Structure 1
């Protein structure tokens, strides 16, 4: 377990909070493992009836910690990031997210697996995979176009440019936009409402909504992971990461 992730249990709600503001809540392998373990434990804990994911200090997550990611690239299905994504995408209990400030890369794609997403008016979202010489992950190539439509998803996934909470709401993957000072409390209140409802009703309702697409989702996630792994060690990604650490724009013109 790492203190970069805070895990709390109270009144039927499991809260998972990013707690690494000095690094903009960039996610390491150890953080993924802590979140995966918490979600797996919550699955078998009948006292947990809802799950809340939130950031800290006005930041949701800057996505993968690139330095940690390059030192410990995900190697196979048992890598912590894939354990986390499987646990989140297959969670039987309702998952609520509270987003304030930047949500980058997997900071955005993990929201596609949440049931309710509330964003602060200060929130911003981006999916900069092509800018890093990579491809989508977390089944975002499937889920985003299903939620927002093909053209909207293509614009976000092909260009990788940031967009604000109002646009995320129009696209349909944010339920409501709130003032930054109110979003965490509102999301927590929604999670508390869910925790007070019959657990079996919530479980069956969520299962009925997701059952038809669950196999397709897991297949897409696995296929993305194969491509992502190959692209992670390709010259384009090496140039993108080198440019990132050197604080310059990458030059992709040398590649076909």
Structure 2
């Protein structure tokens, strides 16, 4: 458990908030474990019928804590790491997942949205996945789900060229359902979540299952991605990206 993940449940709506504002809400393995626990519990119980993922302050998440991943990536444990549990939890959750993107969503902050059923953004939200700039590869099924969501050309612009989308651009490409004023985002999303929570629960589950009917294919693709991702965590390129980050300089990949 970690103090950096806040979990509240009110009137059958659970809200999971990433709260590590001093580190731009960058996510550690401990934080992934706490979010996985919350999402797994939500999926298995009737305490809540809608779940909101959001960030504290003016940042959704800056993505993975690279220093934490550098340490974890050198390990040899056969146990599934917390990030793997989190990715499986958002992929397999049988109930509605709602994202309220309240600021920049970088890396996993973008790719997790591809597993959410309803995605809303504040006007100041931005979306980017600079994996190749860090010596890494896409994860969370992004290399198949992002092209399916925004089209191959835009997906390549994001994943290969490192383009960052504004909230309005993300909406125009279908990555985001609606964009709200920053000050109104949580009020609007909570109202939507309450509406979802009041719907017939069995119909919600079955509708989601019909919409997400390629889960097995996505699971296989995610497994292939994570294998390459783990290899890259041990690569000289990733080591250089972490060193450059710590030394506040541009990486030199030779």
Matching of residue 92 in structure 1 with residue 89 in structure 2: no
Q: What SS does structure 2 have at the residue aligned with 1:134?
A: coil
Indicate the RMSD between aligned Cα atoms, in angstroms: 1.2
Count of residues paired in the alignment? 252
Q: Which residue of structure 2 lines up, in the alignment, with residue 47 of structure 1? A: 47
Runs of 4+ aligned residues of structure 1 deviating over 4 Å after TM superposition are 74-77
Distance 2:240 2:37 in 1: 34
Q: Which residue of structure 2 lines up, in the alignment, with residue 169 of structure 1? A: 171
> Which of 143, 146, 156 is equivalent to 1:144?
146
Residue 45 (structure 1) shift = 0.8
Q: Which residue of structure 2 lines up, in the alignment, with residue 68 of structure 1? A: 68
Residue 63 (structure 1) shift = 0.5
Q: What SS does structure 2 have at the residue aligned with 1:197?
A: coil
Contact 1:77/1:83 (8 A) holds in 2: no
Q: Which residue of structure 1 lines up, in the alignment, with residue 9 of structure 2? A: 9
Q: Which residue of structure 2 lines up, in the alignment, with residue 229 of structure 1? A: 230
Residue 77 (structure 1) shift = 6.2
Contact 1:28/1:68 (8 A) holds in 2: yes
Distance 2:241 2:67 in 1: 13
In the superposition, the TM-score normalised over structure 2's length comes to: 0.96
Q: Which residue of structure 2 lines up, in the alignment, with residue 106 of structure 1? A: 108
Residue 47 (structure 1) shift = 2.4
Contact 2:70/2:239 (8 A) holds in 1: no
Residue 171 (structure 1) shift = 1.4
- The answer for unaligned runs of 5 or more in structure 2 is none
Q: Which residue of structure 2 lines up, in the alignment, with residue 157 of structure 1? A: 159
Distance 1:189 1:70 in 2: 40
Contact 2:27/2:61 (8 A) holds in 1: yes
Q: What SS does structure 1 have at the residue aligned with 2:136?
A: coil
Matching of residue 198 in structure 1 with residue 200 in structure 2: yes
Distance 1:247 1:234 in 2: 20
Larger deviation: 129-138 or 69-78?
Answer: 69-78
Q: What does the per-residue CA deviation read over 1:195-237, in whole Å, with 9 as the maximum and x for residues that have no partner?
A: 00110010000001112x1111101110000000111111111
- The answer for unaligned runs of 5 or more in structure 1 is none
Q: Which residue of structure 2 lines up, in the alignment, with residue 81 of structure 1? A: 83
Q: Which residue of structure 2 lines up, in the alignment, with residue 182 of structure 1? A: 184
Residue 184 (structure 1) shift = 1.1
